[in-house]
Chains A and B, each alone.
Chain A
Amino acid sequence: MYKYTEFDKAFLLQRNSQFRAQVQRRINGQLTEEEFKPLRLMNGLYLQLHAYMLRVAIPYGTLNSAQMRQLAYIAQTWDKGYGHFTTRQNIQYNWPKLSDVPDILDTLAEVNLHAIQTSGNTIRNVTADHFAGAAADEICDPRPYAELIRQWSTDHPEFQFLGRKFKIAINGAIQDRAVIRAHDIGLQIIQKEHKLGFKVIVGGGLGRTPMIGKTIRKFLPESDLLPYIEAILSVFNQSGRRDNKYKARIKITVHEKGIEDIRTLVEDRFHRIRPTYKGLDQNILESIKMQFPPPQFVKADSTHFEQTYETDPIFRSWVDINTSEHKADNYVIVSISLKGHGQTPGDATTKQMQVMAQVAEDYGHNELRISHEQNVILPHVHKSNLPQIYKALRNHGLATANIGLISDIIACPGMDYCALATARSIPIAQDIAGRFKALKIEHEIGPLKLKISGCINACGHHHVGHIGILGLERAGKEYYQITIGGDATSTAAIGERVGPGFSAEEIVDAVERLIYAYLDMRKEPEETFLRTYQRVGLAPFKTALYPKTALAA
């Protein structure tokens, strides 16, 4: 894992003491809220419905046991005993007091964590495949590049006040697990004639104008990464719209000007910038790469695992559903579900965080990851340890075998916390998960991505859910719109709206109707919901969702 230098540490401490002084001046009345707000946002501190919210970055989703324990300690000491892991590989604390925040930030700094660039119009926390460094289908670990971008963009004078926030995601495997096509810049590592490089995608984004990113460069050599990103950013800074907050995203620029025009501008700019990069960035990259060594893989006897797998069907089901293929022999990647039926998607209690830290320390080479799907990953687990891991997790409500199934729901905080929300998302997620558990058809349905957002900002990625739910308000009541056919992978697509929305009371039944329609229509159990939709289109699902209208027509 990346080791923070003395410079990084000094920088963090200096930022924190600056913020401590700002909080003090706010409390003394020397700073007005208008003056203080941008300062607190720069440090990840929001004001939500019931309290402040502190957003802590977990760069490229990677953390070690000591860091996870510190997150647990903060939840225990200054919050209400839990934290919320988000689609942006952050953790959010929902109840800090303003006067405690400087202490929280210092506590984070002890383990090299921080809340910088988690908000504001900056280059945000660079996200990456949560299986990075472990996945069997990996071409190259994306994290050193994410770290390079982080170091380069942190406090970069030119990019602190962009027209709007800017999100970069990077994926190093065949499968896209980082939703790179829904980011301002998406980077896909590829190999061409034994040379590493990137396919560069720009202009993706969700929010009120969802768009799938377009390829601007098919192959960018590894060493051109920073100058190319800088070129994109400066073109965006020049031609991006600042007249309208909603239009000030690169996706709008790409959409309005067309990808060809943007490509010409970017390439031109790139050729001018390129000579100013004299190779220092490449030296830094090489030294960063050294900080991400693979773990010391072990050899061990897996007989006990094989036996348990044969004899214990519940364990077997958990292994089948919650583990993924690893690049090392006899290793697997374990996904710990934070989606127990009826739980809040993405929430973990202090105790649960401590248990996950311990399990990682005992059986997982001390490594953990946060996935954008709001689960926690143990990236390196030898099969022989699976029975013990399962037992430890099960005792703390962490062994739900539902990864990738309908109850593995992404849900944003919605109106239970968020000041921008138009409706709640959490109770809807809880009810849907509970319903399909009761129906006992979750496993029969198979892979299905259901994603819920509590407003048009789309923090819950609903546009790219196989089933997406968007919570809105009409006449003082919550109502929910359904989209289907969204896809977050390399075949990314924005879901299609099926029809009028449903009330909170109707929405779970509506989803159930959709699912039964799918089960009726699929050709074979292997045909997923998404494939069926792609084959039959919207109409039969529409009929299932609105049976009365269909009869009347």
Chain B
Amino acid sequence: MSAHFAPRIVTANHLLQGGVIYLADNDMWVDDIREAEILTDEADAQLRLLFAEQQPDTVVGAYLAKVTVTEHGPEPQHFRDQLRRTGPSHYAHPSDKRFENV
């Protein structure tokens, strides 16, 4: 069963900041996907999602995102999750250098 389960991570938006965050294995929320806990077991993944959903005063919109495990850590499989990680493709956030002298 779990052999066919594509690895997942738990991701959400931060309630106050709005930003994209990931659940780490120490129960902390982190903004670097490389620190996200990789869930390879379906039951485990559901439990971690439940854990996230029980924190409505910290996070909104928690869900499980499919990832591929690489040597650089988890890589989102879907381009939507890829965009959530990198930010909008037209501006180099968060540095925003481009706005300084316009």
Contacts and interface: CB of A to CB of B under 8 A. Distances in A.
Interface in A88-102: 94-99
A60 interface: no
Contacts of B57: 27-29
Contact of A32 (B56, B88, B93, B99): B56
A304 to B, nearest CB: 29
B18 A349 contact: no
B78 interface: yes
A477 interface: yes
B71 interface: no
B70 interface: no
Nearest to A419: B61
B2 interface: no
Nearest to B57: A29
Contacts of B16: 27, 97-99
Contacts of A344: 90-91
B46 interface: no
A351 interface: yes
Interface string A22-41: 00001111001100000000
Contact of B102 (A80, A351, A416, A426): A351
A434 to B, nearest CB: 12
A415 interface: yes
Interface in B15-32: 15-20
A51 B102 contact: no
Interface string B27-43: 00000000000000000
Interface string B72-93: 0000011110011001111101
Given A80-B99, A96-B18, A99-B16, A33 B89 contact: no
B93 A416 contact: no
A478 interface: yes
Contacts of A416: 83, 88-90
Given A29-B57, A47-B18, A427 B79 contact: no
B60 to A, nearest CB: 5
> By CB atoms of chain A within 10 A, which of B17, B18, B94, B99 has the most?
B18
B90 to A, nearest CB: 5
Interface residues of B, number: 27
Give the interface SS of chain B, mostly helix, strand, loop or mixed.
Answer: loop
A517 to B, nearest CB: 29
A360 B18 CA distance: 35
A349 B102 contact: yes
A430 B79 contact: no
Contact of B89 (A28, A351, A426): A426
B90 A415 contact: no
Contacts of A49: 20, 80, 83-84
Interface in A1-53: 26-29, 32-33, 47-52
Nearest to B93: A80
A28 to B, nearest CB: 8
Interface in A43-98: 47-52, 80-82, 94-98
A394 interface: no
A33 B102 contact: no
A476 B78 contact: yes
Contact of A51 (B17, B77, B91): B17
B79 to A, nearest CB: 7
B83 A51 contact: no
B61 A50 contact: no
Given A47-B60, A96-B18, A426-B90, A415 B96 contact: no
Contacts of B88: 50, 94, 416-417, 426
A408 B79 CA distance: 27
Nearest to B15: A98
A50 B19 contact: yes
Nearest to A344: B90
A48 B79 CA distance: 15
A397 B19 contact: no
Contact of A352 (B56, B87, B102): B102
A11 B100 CA distance: 37
B64 to A, nearest CB: 16
Given A29-B57, A81-B96, A415 B15 contact: no
B18 A350 contact: no
A397 B101 CA distance: 11
B74 to A, nearest CB: 16
A424 interface: yes
A81 B92 CA distance: 13
A96 B14 CA distance: 12
B77 A476 contact: yes
B102 A427 contact: no
A268 to B, nearest CB: 46
B90 A80 contact: no
A233 to B, nearest CB: 33
Contacts of B15: 26-27, 98
A50 B20 contact: yes
Contact of A415 (B19, B60, B80): B80
Contacts of B83: 49, 415-416, 424
A526 B87 CA distance: 43
A29 B56 contact: yes
B18 A81 contact: no
27 contacts: A27-B16, A33-B60, A47-B18, A50-B13, A50-B20, A50-B84, A50-B88, A51-B17, A51-B18, A80-B96, A81-B99, A82-B99, A97-B18, A98-B17, A98-B18, A99-B16, A349-B102, A352-B102, A415-B80, A416-B83, A416-B89, A416-B90, A424-B83, A426-B90, A427-B90, A477-B79, A478-B79
Q: Which 10 A-B pairs have the closest CB atoms?
A: A51-B18, A416-B88, A29-B57, A81-B99, A52-B18, A349-B102, A426-B90, A98-B16, A344-B90, A349-B99
Interface of A: 26-29, 32-33, 47-52, 80-82, 94-99, 344, 349-352, 396-397, 415-417, 421, 424, 426-427, 430, 476-478
